[in-house]
Structure formats: structure tokens, C-alpha cells
Amino acid sequence: MLDIHKLRKEGKEIERRLQTRDSSIDLSEIMKLDARRLELISKVEELKAERNRGSQEVGRLKREGKDATQQIEAMSAVSAQISALDSELNDDTKRINYLLSLLPNVPHASVPVGKKEEKVILRSHGEVPQQDFTVKNHLEIAEEKGLLDFTRGAMIAGARFPMYVGAGAMLEMALIQYMFFYHSRRSYTAVFPPFLANPESFYVSSQLPKFADEDYYCEKDDLYLTPTAETLLANLHRGEILSSSDLPKKYVAYTPCFRREAGTYGEEERGLIRVHQFNKVELFKFTKPETSYDELETLIEDVEGILQALGMHYRVALLSTQDLAQQATKTVDIEVYLPGQGRYYEVSSCSNCEDFQARRGNTRYRPAEGEKPEYVHTLNGSGVATPRLMAAILENNQTADGRVRVPDVLQEILGMEYL
């Protein structure tokens, strides 16, 4: 959530920068309501001071044995005014907070202004694979080898709920295990969180209220199925004041993820490319504001380490303003190449959210003993999501004789060299 105090000082500039994300953003209602709220606060304070003076006068008259009826009636009228203004003030505050909750984060100065497709490729690792045989896409490979069963998955749950079978299930589990332990051995604290969360947790992470229709909701229990472990990890220190020496705090978590992903999809998004349920290892950091962009770079490097260990060709892309998630001020995507479709797909988004989530969760730190607490910065990154990574492994590691070579780092876990 944006800082209302900052909006008062820099409203026009903030609005201009927000409009690079969405040209329809208009801060005028918020600013008018906030100005009126400040006026109401001033009036209430004046009336309370008047009531205090009146109460003192009533006390004096009673002590002197005089009639205080007129003063008591006047103070009763003042109290009624205060109550009415407090009600208006409460309504305005709720409306302001609701409108603020819908606004996205302000893009960082280094983020290119542009549409979703106007990302900037920062670098790439490795070379595009060159196969001297006709390559198959991951669906063809999975069907031939019995690795995936979308038909039975759809029978059990519905379309776009994949079911991994046999060696496919083993490879999926090996990926999760490898990535989880890879990061936990690199100073990330391992977390195995609940897979459901309450509305307050979803609000802190910025899933609510804006994206309620995209989430799976258990109405009877008032709980949501997590769309990403970021939603859970953002709440780990909700309401806490951390010490400067505690930071950065780094976490890695595994969860299944559930997303409605409403809409229609083209041929290029079949199979594991876009699904309603998938597995993901997530990285999350709580940092000091002055180090958060350095921490973003190391987060990206940690994710790249996974893809390099798996022998993947990938590229790193800086997203433009219109492609940022609501909570992010800067996002870098890591994309793997799928030769079966001849294109790149994102497998990890690494974002700095600055103090956007921390304000919602009131997560702060004390820079030094005796100093006023400040909001931390939060960062997140997929470390990584498995569906497209699985597709990339199948397509990039296929051989001319129809086999799929298991990446070296997974062979011991999986107990086989080829699928």
C-alpha cells in the first residue's frame, strides 16, 4: 500500500508514474477525501478542546453551588457534533484505505515505460539448443512415455489440473527436492507453511481485495488456497519490529499453488504451460531499504544458479511498467527456451516490492537502539516453478533415439540417467 503522507507531498508525480502502469489511474478522489479528512480531524480536535473547557466550567459551577444546566446542555450538543464528525471521519478513512488498496506500487526509476511485450533482455546464459532431428513438444514426449495424464487429471478435478505419473511424478518430486535443498543450503531458512491462508494474510500480500476473483476460496472456513508461497511468507513477521541485525531475513518454501487463470488460451499454452495447480519453490526476503536492490540482484543470481545446475539455456528480462504485478516496483523475469515451440517462457519472476507489503502487514525494523522503527522492504522470487521447467527439461534433453536425458544433478535423486 502506498504511503498517504508521501501522496500529500508528491501526489502529482506519483500519479504520473502510476499512469505509466495504467493510464486510467486517477488519485483525485483519494486526495479530496484526504483533504476533507484532515479538515474533519481539525474540527474534531477543536470541538474536543471546547468540550474539555466546558467540562471544567461545569465542574467549577458545581463546586460553587451554582446552576450548570445551560453548560451541560451545550456540552451535550458539542458531544453530539463530535460523534457525527467521528462517523464521517471513519467513513472517509475506510474509503481512502479501500482506494489505496487497489492502487499498484510506484515503478522504480530503472523500470522501462512500456507495454507488456516491451521488456528489456538484460542477458542470456548458454546457447539455443540445436538438435539435428525433429524435436517434439513436452506433451508428445509425456504421452509417449506415460509421464503425464491430463485426461484422468481432468476427470478427477477438471481441465488444466495435471497429473504426473510414474517417472513423471518422480522427476517432479526430484525437482522440488533439489531446488528446496539447494536454496536452504545457501542461507535461506527452510519453511513448510500451511497451504491455506486467511483473508488478512491475502490482504498483506496484496492478493486482496483486487484479485479476489482469481483465487480459490473455501467459503465455509473463510480460507484461501495459496496462489504462491509469497502470499504466506509475506506474513511471517506481520506486526513485528525486527532489529537491524536481524536483516536480511531470507526464506525458502515449497507449496503447491492454485490459480484460476480465467480466460482462453492458445495452442502455445497447452500442457504444462498454463495450469490451475502447480508446484513451486519460492524465495522471500525481508531487508533494509538501503540494501533491497542489492538483495534483488543476489536473489536473481540464486535463481539462475538452479537453471545453470540443470544445464538450461535461459535469458533474463527486465519487465516494463505495464507488466508489473500490483505489489512490485521492479521485476526481472528468467525465461527458459522450449525448442518444441521455438520460444521462451518465464519460469521465475524476481521482484522488489519495497515497503508496499510491509505497510499492509505493519512489518518494521529498528535501525538502531532508540531510533524510530521503519518499514522493511520485501522481495520475492520463484526458485522456481516446476511446470514450465519440467517442459523445458523434456524438450531440451530429448535425444535422437527418443529418450530424455535426466540432468546430472537429478540423476542420483531419481536413480536413472534417462527417462
Active site annotation includes 95: no
Catalytic hit among 51, 274, 360, 364: 274
CA distances (Å), origin 248, targets 187, 234, 328, 348: 10, 14, 18, 21
Instruction: Please give the pLDDT value at position 271.
Output: 87
Question: In the annotation, is 349 catalytic?
Answer: yes
Q: What is the pLDDT of residue 262?
A: 61
pLDDT at 131: 86
What confidence score (pLDDT) does residue 12 get?
97
CA atoms within 13 A on the CB side of 150: 14
Beta strands in 117-193 (DSSP E): 120-125, 189-191
pLDDT on residue 269: 73
Contacts within 8 Å (CB) and 24+ apart, 130-137? 131/339, 131/398, 131/400, 132/400, 133/400, 135/339, 135/340, 135/395, 135/398, 136/340, 136/395, 136/398, 137/271, 137/338, 137/340, 137/341, 137/391, 137/395
pTM for this entry: 0.93
Say which of 21, 205, 388, 395 is annotated catalytic: 388
C-alpha–C-alpha distance, residues 246 and 236, integer Å:
14
Instruction: Give pLDDT, residue 329.
Output: 98
Residue 133 grid cell: 532431428
- The single residue of 17, 51, 160, 259 carrying the catalytic annotation is 259
C-alpha cell at 209: 481485495
Specify the 3-state DSSP secondary structure of 340. coil
Asked whether the beta carbons of 209 and 203 are under 8 A apart, the reply is yes
388 in active site? yes
Q: What distance in Å separates the CA atoms of residue 261 and residue 74, rounded to the nearest whole number?
A: 60
pLDDT confidence of residue 268:
63
Residue 110 known to be catalytic: no
Active site (annotated) includes residue 73: no
Residue from 346, 359, 403, 405 carrying the catalytic annotation: 346
Contacts with 167 (C-beta within 8 Å, 6 or more apart), sequence order: 145, 146, 147, 414, 416, 419
Q: Which of 206, 292, 349, 351 is catalytic?
A: 349
Across-strand partners of 280? 255, 385
DSSP assignments along 99-115, one per residue: HHHHSPPPPPTTSPPS-
pLDDT one digit per residue (tens) for the chain, 419 residues: 999 999 999 999 999 999 999 999 999 999 999 999 999 999 999 999 999 999 999 999 999 999 999 999 999 999 999 999 999 999 999 999 999 999 999 999 999 999 999 999 999 999 998 888 999 999 999 999 999 999 999 999 999 999 999 999 999 999 999 999 999 999 999 999 999 999 999 999 999 998 888 999 999 999 999 999 999 999 999 999 999 999 999 999 999 999 997 655 566 678 899 999 999 999 999 999 999 999 999 999 999 999 999 999 999 999 999 999 999 999 999 999 999 999 999 999 999 999 999 999 999 999 999 999 999 999 999 999 999 999 999 999 999 999 999 999 999 999 999 99
Q: Which domains does the chain have, with CATH numbers?
A: 28-102 (1.10.287.40), 120-414 (3.30.930.10)
